[in-house]
Structures are given as C-alpha cells and as structure tokens.
Amino acid sequence: MFNQKHILVIDDDQKLSNLLKSYLNEQGYHVDLAENTAVARDKMHSIIYDLLILDVMLPKESGLVFAAKLKKIDKIPILMLSAMGNTNDRIKGLKTGVDEYLPKPFEPEELLLRIKNIIKRNKQIVEEVNLIKIGSFSFNNYKNILYKKKFSIKLTIKEAKVLLYLYKNTGNDVERDELAKEINVSTRSVDVLVKRLRSKILSLPQSKNILLTSRGIGYRLDP
C-alpha cells in the first residue's frame, strides 16, 4: 500500500507482539517484530521506520538504554510500553526523549490513538524541514535521507554531518583535519566516512561522484 506507515515493535513477549501486529495490520499499518534490541538494530539498518513501539523490560539491553542511545543519532519517534506504571519509571522514559509512554495493560484503542498522534506530530515536524538541494540530489536533514528522484538512501548521523559540512563549503577544498574536528572523529575515520558516503551516493541510480578527493588536502563537494 502506498504511503503505508511502517512500525517496528520491540518486545520479547511474543504473544503480545503477535497480537499487536495482527491488530495494527488490520488498522492499515505495516508491522515488523524484534524480540530484542540487537534484532531491532539489524532491521533498522535496512528499513526506515515511521515509529518504534518499545518495551522497557528487554533481555540484555533495556528499552530505556536503547532509547537513550538511539535518540542521540536518530529522530525516529518512540512509543514506550511498560508493565511498571510508577511515575519515576515514566519520567525516566520521557527523559530519554521518547515521544509517548503507555503503561501495560492498555486498551488497543488508546494505543491506536497514541500512534496516530505521534505520527501526525512527526509528519508536521518533517514537513517544516526544507529539503536541501545538492545538485541533482535532495537531502532531508531531519531524517538524514538522501534522495535522487524516487530513490533514497539513509545516512548515519556522522555521514550526514560530513555531507552537510562539505555542502556548506561547496566547491572549496576542506582539509581532513578540519573535517575531523567538526565531526569529532579521527582523520582516519574521516576517510572511512567519506568512502562510505561516496559509496551510498553512487548506489543511487544515475549518480555521479560528487565527493572529490583533493590530493594532499582533503575533500571537496562538487555537485
């Protein structure tokens, strides 16, 4: 279905996860399941989700820890679920940057209303962000997505920082040390990031190399 919203449910309660998937499928959402945060990360490498439904109590890495790490590098909305309904637990969840907090047990209708509200709010935020035109590409600096016509690819937060800094200096050589300082990485890491970013750009159909190497200096964006 065109424009169908894609949700990832991260919960080790298989029975509840399957019930959520069945219910949300009926409501027109596409739902994937992950029983822990490691599986969730694998799925998120290849799929851009509109919303995460995240349980607090998970094996190995808790939902709170996962949410705190994720919010540092991604702006994806999170609805957190928990059987622990005390105020302190809710405050901890909200402090990590989660968008909504829903204690278990909950009514399916309330869950659905919260999902709709979160996606609506996020859509309004995204629409307020202007796409940056970089030659024949467009870059959404809210979702860190690079577009070429109808094709797109997700960038990591550091890859996005590299692209944006070079964009601000379009046509000019940027020294590797300067780029490293701006992104807070080593100069060797800059080379790795540029290589990965260049590969992602070239993976989009009919794309040319716009990240040029300035021998003995650094890099230059030439869209």
> Which domain CATH number covers 143?
1.10.10.10
Cα(195)–Cα(47) distance, integer angstroms:
22
Q: Are the C-beta atoms of 138 and 147 separated by less than 8 Å?
A: yes
pLDDT of residue 84: 64
Does one domain contain both 112 and 168? no
Does one domain contain both 105 and 200? no
Domain with 202, as residue range(s), is: 132-221
Q: Is the pTM of this model over 0.75?
A: no
61: closest CA among 81, 83, 44, 39?
39
Handedness of CA 89, 90, 96, 101 (dihedral sign): positive
Q: Is the pLDDT of residue 200 over 70?
A: yes
Q: Is the pLDDT of residue 2 over 50?
A: no
Q: Among 82, 103, 128, where does a domain finish?
A: 128
63: closest CA among 91, 87, 98?
98
Does one domain contain both 11 and 98? yes
Q: How confident is the model at residue 1 (pLDDT cuts 50, 70, 90)?
A: very low
- 141-184 residue pLDDT tens: 877 889 998 889 989 888 999 999 999 999 999 999 999 998 88
Cα(134)–Cα(46) distance, integer angstroms:
24
Does one domain contain both 55 and 90? yes
Greatest Cα pair distance, the chain, in angstroms, is 62
- Say if 1 falls within a structural domain: no
Does one domain contain both 120 and 178? no
pLDDT of residue 104: 85
Does one domain contain both 115 and 154? no
Return the percentage of the chain with pLDDT > 70, whole number.
Answer: 92
- 120-132 residue pLDDT tens: 887 766 655 667 8
Q: What is the residue-averaged pLDDT of the chain? A: 88
pLDDT of residue 19: 95
Q: What is the dihedral of CA 78, 81, 86, 91, to 10 degrees?
A: -10
- 28-85 residue pLDDT tens: 999 999 999 999 998 887 777 889 999 988 998 999 999 998 887 777 899 999 876 6
CB atoms within 10 A of CB 178: 17
- In this structure, what token pair is assigned to residue 10? 């991260």
Does one domain contain both 136 and 41? no
Does one domain contain both 72 and 136? no
Q: Among 76, 109, 128, where does a domain finish?
A: 128
